[in-house]
């Protein structure tokens, strides 16, 4: 899962903010950081998740295209 690939501090901040419904300020306090640091961790986590998701989609499309190609080659 892409979420598990995030660095722990970023995953904690992101989880608290989105799943725990904490504010950025609350997440920062709980993590022992400033609001600005928590905000940066959330930003970095979102960017990394975006990249991971794009990679997963790309890999899936490539695998499906290869499987279709293999199916057309072997049926000829």
What tens digit of pLDDT does each residue of 14-71 get?
999 999 999 999 999 999 999 999 999 999 999 999 999 999 899 998 888 878 888 7
- Give the pLDDT of residue 31: 96
Buried b (16+ CB within 10 A) or exposed e, 19-51: eeebebeebbeebebeeebbbebbebbeebbee
What's the confidence (pLDDT) of residue 1?
A: 79
pLDDT (0 to 100) of residue 63: 87
Contacts of 16 (CB under 8 A, 6+ apart): 22, 26, 27, 30, 31
- The 8-class DSSP code of residue 22 comes to -
Q: Report pLDDT for 75.
A: 56
pLDDT at site 73? 61
- State how far the Cα of 55 lies from the Cα of 15, in Å rounded to an integer: 21
More confident residue, 1 or 31: 31
Q: Note the CATH architecture for domain 2-74.
A: Orthogonal Bundle (1.10)
């Amino acid at each position: 899962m892409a979420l598990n690939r995030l660095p722990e501090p970023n995953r904690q901040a992101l989880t608290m903010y989105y799943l725990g419904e904490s504010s950025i300020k609350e997440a920062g306090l709980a993590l022992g950081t400033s609001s600005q640091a928590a905000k940066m961790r959330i930003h970095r986590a979102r960017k990394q998740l975006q990249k991971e998701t794009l990679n997963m989609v790309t890999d899936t499309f490539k695998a499906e295209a290869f499987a279709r190609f293999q199916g057309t080659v072997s049926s000829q």
